[in-house]
Amino acid sequence: MHGKERSLAGRWMQYGALALIVQLAVACSDKAAAPAPVGHEQQAVDAAIVATPAADERLVVAFGDSLYAGYNLDQNKGLAPVLEAALKARGVKARVVNAGVSGDTTAAGLARLTFTLDGLPRKPDLMLVGLGGNDMLRGLAPAETRTNLNAILAELKKRGIPVLLTGMMASPNMGPDYAAAFNPIFPDLARTYDATLYPFMLDGVIGDRALQLPDGIHPNDKGVTVIVGKLAPVVAEALPS
């Protein structure tokens, strides 16, 4: 095994160990596992109201979980504001709405999707969808994750909203059978719905403690900058001309 491969394998093993800890914590807490749809919906609407775009701005909605919501980061350090700044630096006038909710599974996301979309000031020019990580951490059946994401993408297609799907990968501790069922969900659905695919949301961050919060999974502000550095060109390309 080459040095680069050993480094990647080590990062994945670290990810798997940390993911197992998160799974155990979730399994021991009914409160952590239970969605709170009313609060989640209100959070999404509040974000949409605050982020009403100007007439000449594109409207980009980041609809996902804690990786979108800016978990444990200052308000201006999360994905949405950093991505918005990166797009403007590339000459793309865009307002990026933070519609991420920490702890959301694909089921919780599907439950609040219509409410979120109907609360926006207008139809988005692009919807970023980043869900599935919490399904994996809780060991939910990949078939359930696929069904929920399929329903989300079907609704967005029905409304004529372009999609950029940010993928997730199963941690090694979930085992090869789980990974074989979970990992193809994102590329499969991207092909089915002609969505742009960013294969792995934590690319360049997972396993690098300098880019992560102490939990070893969520990015810190430096990690968000790394993610956005890779993601912003894909978002700019995915925006309809």
Residues 6+ apart with CB under 8 A from 108: 35, 37, 40, 101
Phi, psi of 220 (to 5 degrees): -85, -170
What is the C-alpha to C-alpha distance for residues 75 and 81, in angstroms, rounded to an integer?
Answer: 8
- Yes or no: say if 71 and 83 are a contact pair by the CB < 8 Å rule: no
218 flagged as catalytic? yes
Catalytic residue among 66, 104, 125, 135: 66
- 121 residue type, one letter: P
Query: Catalytic site residue 215?
Result: yes
66 flagged as catalytic: yes
User: 65, 104, 171, 218: which one is catalytic?
Assistant: 218
Residue 177, amino acid: D
Pairing of strands 163-166, 126-130: parallel
The Cα 178–Cα 79 span in angstroms is 28
The answer to whether 133 and 170 have CB atoms below 8 angstroms apart is no
- Positions annotated as catalytic residues are 66, 215, 218
